[in-house]
A and B are shown apart, each in its own frame.
Chain A
Amino acid sequence: MFPLGIVPYIVGGTLIGAGVSHIYIATGLHATQSSFFSTTLSYFSKRPYFQQKQYLDSRGWRLTFAVGVILGAFIYVVTLSPEGFFTTSVQWWRLALGGFLVGFGTRLSQGCTSGHGISGLGSLSTTSLYAVITFLVVGILTAMVVQALGVIP
């Protein structure tokens, strides 16, 4: 069940929760991820959907947050990581097709593994619980089908 052990997952998850908590206690903001795409698109699209007040109000700190996440992962690689930098072997067409569906789906659902998963469950939201169960089940089924079609990894 846990070929890599449980420590990286427990420690990693605790640090993620600490990051969300740190931001919440200081600012009251819910530090979630997928809204970034809509708020950043507000810089480029004048359409009313992207110009919503909540997107305009949060687009600055969401950029800051994304930069922090990138640098935090970079700090891990240059300090504690046993194997250093990493490049995925997942094919480009899977990154492109999967990424498109992730962007579309998370914005339609108003949350992702972070918004529904961490902050939503942390807020004891039943809406988020249904969303999490849905994307877990669908994600597992999809990955199984992809694997059964002989696509590796």
Chain B
Amino acid sequence: MRIRHLFVFTGGLLFGFGLAFGGMAKQEIVLSFLQLKDLGLLLLLGASAFVTAVTINLVPKLLKGPLLGGEFKRRKRTLSKRTIIGAIIFGVGWGISGQCPGSAWASLGVGNIPVLIGIASMLLGAYIMGRFFQ
């Protein structure tokens, strides 16, 4: 188990470094995308999805399973009203604040401490969803 955590941790380092390198720890840059002043966020999203697509679609053909054991599974998501209503509510929150879950962690790493308010609020929002709308 510990070795798996080590790989998750080092992958997290890359993820957080990349988010900060791409400016995503700054809500101002995310908002400048949402105000259509700087479309760079689309490039970042595209590049990360592209690299991920190559890995997820190619690696299971080359390897029998993950290096540390187990099996490669695809993510299962079925489209429902909840998918879209949830995405609408997320979009409103994103547009109001320029925050999303991953970039909020990266924000803490660059010393952007006010985002702690956002993270606490995200936990509360996730709790209310699971408590009353499940």
> CA separation between A152 and B95, bound complex, in Å?
12
Residue of B nearest to A104 (CB): B125
**Bound Cα distance from A136 to B33, whole angstroms:** 10
Closest CB of chain A to B134's CB: distance in Å? 4
B123 touches A41 (CB 8 A): yes
Once A6-B40, A73-B17, A92-B114 are accepted as A-B contacts, the answer to whether A102 and B122 lie under 8 Å apart by CB is yes
A76 to B39, CA, bound (A): 22
Bound together, the chains give a CA A113 to CA B103 distance in angstroms of 9
When C-beta atoms are compared, the residue in chain B nearest to A12 turns out to be B22
* Residues 37-53 (chain B) with a chain A CB within 8 angstroms: 37-41, 43-53
CA distance A134 to B91 in the complex (A): 7
Compute how far the CA of A92 lies from the CA of B116 in the bound complex, rounded to whole angstroms: 10
State A37–B28 Cα separation when bound (angstroms). Answer: 24
Chain A, residues 6-19, CB within 8 Å of chain B (1/0): the string is: 10111111111111
Cα–Cα distance between A28 and B4 once the two chains are bound (Å):
10
Within the complex, what minimum Cβ distance (angstroms) separates A124 from chain B? Answer: 7
Which B residues contact A (CB, under 8 angstroms)?
1, 4-5, 7-29, 31-32, 34-41, 43-57, 59, 63, 65-68, 70-75, 77-79, 82-115, 117-131, 133-134
**Which residues on A are within 8 Å of B, measured CB to CB?**
1-4, 6, 8-31, 33-34, 36-38, 40-41, 45, 47, 49-50, 60-61, 64-77, 80-81, 85-90, 92, 94-114, 116-128, 130-132, 134-147, 153
Could you write out 27 A-B pairs with CB less than 8 Å apart? A13-B46, A16-B47, A24-B55, A24-B59, A25-B59, A26-B67, A27-B7, A28-B71, A65-B11, A67-B12, A68-B9, A69-B106, A76-B20, A90-B31, A95-B27, A95-B114, A97-B96, A98-B95, A99-B93, A103-B127, A122-B49, A128-B77, A134-B91, A138-B87, A138-B88, A142-B91, A153-B32
